[in-house]
Amino acid sequence: MLDEIADRIAGIDPRLGAAALVLHLGNHLLRSAAWRNVIAAAYPERRVPYTRVLAGYASGVAVNALAPARGGDAVKLGLIRAAIPGSTITTLAATMSVLVVLDLLIGTALVLTVGITGAVPLDPGAGLSRVGGVLPVLAAAAAIAAAAGWMLRRRIVGLGRRLRQGGAILRTPGRYLRAVAAPQLGAWACRVGVVLCLLAAFGLPATVPLAGLVMVVSGASTIVPLTPGGAGTQQVALAVALSQTASAAAVVSFSLAMQASVTAVNALLGLVAAMAVFRTARPLNALRAALAGARA
């Protein structure tokens, strides 16, 4: 099986690989543009340079790809806070949440598309039964949260103010659609395009439902980030999910190549971005400075 995997990786069409690379870069550029516009709305009196947001985003994605526990999110926030005087981690974290809202909607649409097309069976009854069993726990948690909120109400008022500041762009729907939703949708289209190119490169059916399934499974494997990028978990999950579509060797070779190439590109982009931000030609110095910025 290992020989078959190696042969499949060696035999991919370089043109499709190049197209996937371009689309992956497009995803970085568009998503950084959307985040920059959210931050600019939160701090209208400050200059928010796109290049610094792009560098912070790329550096954070690189750390997330190479280390578990999503430490790259702290790197993103630390680098952006350093670039915008007077900004706070709370407000910047709220700006990231603005992007998550649309991500959740698109992710849900992907799950429904996959389920409707039959790629993955959905069982609403089982889901409702699980929710019913969790309700008492949720009720207890809500009571504890309410009590804690009452005791910390003064601090929560200040926290709420900063959170509202982070979501300022949502108060102007037209600007949100133009400056955030449009580039974010473009970034998702690039992500789907990357998966389609790689599916075709490995001789698998390059269809949107199958690409959606791959994205859903890949995303699920990183929900609990026990390994960098969900390595291992992702390969097993995809091999099971695509067992009716292709051989295990084909699926594993595709998944390994996709994860390895995306991780390598993300790491390289993040390293270059950190070197540019900290104005050093030494990669290790740039990495140390980025991690120090996240802890500051």
Read off the pLDDT of residues 155-170 as tens digits, 9 standing for 90 and up.
434 446 767 888 899 9
The pLDDT value recorded for residue 118 is 65
Mean pLDDT, rounded, for 66-72? 66
- CA neighbours within 13 Å on the CB side: how many for 264? 7
Range with top average pLDDT, 2-11, 50-59, 153-162, 278-287 = 50-59
The pLDDT value recorded for residue 12 is 75
The pLDDT value recorded for residue 151 is 47
117, 245 Cβ separation under 8 angstroms: no
Q: Residue ranges of the domains in the chain?
A: 2-295
Q: How confident is the model at residue 257 (pLDDT cuts 50, 70, 90)?
A: confident
Q: What percent of the chain has pLDDT over 70?
A: 66
Give alpha helix (H) positions in 43-172: 50-66, 72-83, 89-116, 124-151, 153-166
Mean pLDDT, rounded, for 65-91? 82
Mean pLDDT, rounded, for 202-225? 73
Number of H helices and E strands in the chain, helices first, is: 13, 0
pLDDT at 189 over 90: yes
The pLDDT value recorded for residue 206 is 84
Q: Among 57, 121, 144, which residue's Cα sits nearest to residue 92? A: 57
The pLDDT value recorded for residue 194 is 92
* Measured CA angle at 32 (ends 28, 35), to 5 deg: 145
Which of 30-44, 103-117, 121-135, 205-219 shows the lowest per-residue confidence on average (mean pLDDT)? 121-135
The residue ranking higher by pLDDT, 24 or 280, is 24
The pLDDT value recorded for residue 107 is 80
Mean pLDDT, rounded, for 105-115? 77
pLDDT at 76 over 70: yes
pLDDT at 185 over 90: yes
The DSSP element (H or E) to which 198 belongs, if any, is: helix 182-201
d(CA 252, CA 256): 6
Q: What percent of the chain has pLDDT over 90?
A: 24
pLDDT at 192 over 60: yes
The pLDDT value recorded for residue 136 is 52
Q: Which two tokens stand for residue 245?
A: 């579509």
d(CA 267, CA 67): 11
The pLDDT value recorded for residue 159 is 47
The residue ranking higher by pLDDT, 136 or 42, is 42
Residues 6+ apart with CB under 8 A from 1: 248, 249, 252
Q: Among 165, 149, 182, which residue's Cα sits nearest to residue 34? A: 182
